[in-house]
Amino acid sequence: MNELLLVLDFGGQYKELIARTVRGLSVYSEIRPGSTGADEIRNLNPIGIILTGGPNSVYLPDAPKCDPEIFNLGIPVLGICYGMQLMCHMLGGTVQPCKKSEYGRVKASFRTQSVLFDGIGEQGTVLMSHTDFVSKLPDGFISTASTKDCPHAACECPSKKLFGVQFHPEVEHTDNGRKMMEQFLYAVCGAKGDYRLDDYIDTQVRRIRQKVGDQRVLLALSGGVDSSVCAALLSKAIPGQLACIFVDHGFMRLNEGDEIESAFSGMKLNFIRVNAQHRFLSRIKGVTDPERKRKIIGDEFARVFEEEAGKLGSIPFLAQGTIYPDIIESGGKLGATIKSHHNVGGLPENLAFAEVIEPLSGLFKDEVRALGRKLGLPASLTERQPFPGPGLAVRVMGEVTREKLDIVRMADFIMCEEIGKLKNKPQQYFAVYTGTRSVGVKGDDRTYDAVIALRAVNTSDFMTCRYAPLSHRTLSRIASRITNEIRSVSRVVYDITSKPPATVEWE
């Protein structure tokens, strides 16, 4: 059993980043609601607790609070932003609105006698994001950092192992922030650093074998990162007992279906590729509304999966690539009843399975990718970019036809190939068939052909994003190749809209 660092969530946007940073420092972390009681925490026996940030003001009556008894458990506590304010407020300090709020990178001074700041220097830059501040510390606390406008940018009560930082050490914008987190884990909490992905593999293999025995498991394999890694892990645990159904709806990227089939051909599983391109394309013929497209494609996916599952006979277990953020967003562990929010996506409720297996449900996305690499999956799968379930069907504006799919598929391939040569790549990039046409000139002839839009973004959470500032040289090279290699494209444009107000996808 790994040591546990508990992250109590008060609505902070960086809660997952905190937990991932802790895991990156070889300590297992879990996120629980901020209201988790002291008795439950005592039973979990964590080596430390981190209180996250949040959007509220701690002094308001309806502000989220923690069980005050957690400060008397003898377990080290680190409060971050709202977490620091909450701790100070509940222990008798004063929190009030700032005369001048702090946002962004701010210069700070540290008391290097503090164990948190040992070895980082007396000056540094931290990321601040607050409109309230601690104006008076509780009894027994001392101030350990300050900024121009925040006299208590950090504080601590060493005798009770209680620490607070007004800034965010979990983000890259804070100098030595990772070092501060490491100091809390190892110098304060006494962590041994016993969390390894190799151990996770061994633990899950043992659990899967105990649960499944000699029975069979069915996995709906989309070819995405999560379901692919889930397939590889199950194949290792129960070789010969896994059936994977991969429905190729015809909206995949260039050669993607073949790459997925090739990646799983050598594994000890029953890989079933259902080539259903014609039936999917027929179902959305003439449909232009993006929501109708999605619903029709989701329904047809369910129909195909239902047909294929029926051919395989009785299989008691359904496997899913559910990962930890899915559970966090759901507010708790997902139940065994199959519902539309499960990763297999909109399956009929009358599909009979005794139990759902989710072997990745304790991992974040970056850990899933690393696990896939350890299990021998190729980079084409483990580093796969986010891809909508309906695939290229929602990257073709308006009615979807085979010709339009071929155009956007080739344009996307060219863009990915060129960006793949860059040293610093955006987090996500793809091409869009805009549904508009434009006058052009090719040779001595006037053309009136398709307009392709390029989209490339940088994001840490895929909830917000900024467009990637690709160089003009790169964009010129992509545009030149697309217009030269795809005869029916006359113009290429670059989308420079961030999210919000736009979304990452066009539909």
Q: Is 299 helix (H, G, I), strand (E, B) or coil?
A: helix
What mean pLDDT is predicted for residues 459-473?
Answer: 79
Do 30 and 53 lie in a common domain? yes
Residues 22, 120: one domain?
yes
CA dihedral (12, 46, 68, 179) positive or negative: negative
332 found inside a domain: yes
State which amino acid sits at residue 62: D
Max mean pLDDT among 158-162, 367-371, 377-381 falls in: 158-162
Q: How confident is the model at residue 335 (pLDDT cuts 50, 70, 90)?
A: very low
Residues 300 and 262 in one domain: yes
d(CA 430, CA 420): 12
Using the predicted structure, report yes or no on whether residue 346 has a pLDDT greater than 70: no
pLDDT tens sequence across 280-329: 999 999 999 988 998 898 888 878 877 888 888 888 888 888 888 777 65
Q: For the chain, how many structural domains are there in total?
A: 3
Residue 272 CA neighbour count, 13 Å, CB half: 17
- Are 226 and 352 in a shared domain? yes
Identify the pLDDT of residue 341.
33
401 and 294 together in one domain: no
Sign of CA dihedral 409, 415, 421, 425: negative
By three-state DSSP, how is residue 456 classified?
A: strand
In a domain, residue 499? The reply is: no
pTM: 0.70
Last residue of a domain, one of 163, 188, 213: 188
| Same domain flag for 172 and 39 | yes
CATH of the domain at 480: 3.30.300.10
Clarify whether residues 222 and 340 are in a common domain: yes
Question: Per this entry, what is the length of the chain?
Answer: 507
Q: How many CB atoms lie within 10 A of CB 497?
A: 13
**HSE of 178 in the Cβ direction (CA atoms, 13 Å)?**
9
In a domain, 126, yes or no: yes
Catalytic residues: 81, 168, 170
pLDDT at 108: 94
**In a shared domain, residues 227 and 350:** yes
Phi then psi dihedrals of residue 49, to 5 deg: -130, 135
What's the pLDDT tens digit per position in 179-235?
Answer: 999 999 999 999 999 999 888 899 899 999 999 999 999 888 887 888 899 999 999
Angstrom CA distances, 161 to 79, 87, 140, stand at 11, 12, 11
| CATH code for the domain of 233 | 3.40.50.620
- Within a domain: residue 506? no
Residues 131 and 12 occupy one common structural domain: yes
Which range marks the domain in which residue 133 is found?
4-188
Residue 467: strand pairing partners: 457
- Amino acid identity at 187: A
Neighbours of 353 (CB within 10 A): 19
* Strand, coil or helix: 113: coil
The pLDDT of 427-445, averaged and rounded, is 88
Kindly report the CATH number assigned to the domain that includes residue 31.
Answer: 3.40.50.880
| Residues in contact with 412: Cβ distance below 8 Å, sequence separation at least 6, in sequence order | 253, 254, 392, 395, 430, 431
Identify whether residues 141 and 225 lie together within a single domain.
Answer: no
Domain finish residue from 129, 156, 188: 188
Q: Which of 137, 160, 188 is the last residue of a domain?
A: 188
Q: What mean pLDDT do residues 15-31 have?
A: 90
Predicted local distance difference test score (pLDDT) of residue 64: 94
Given this model, what pLDDT does residue 241 score?
93
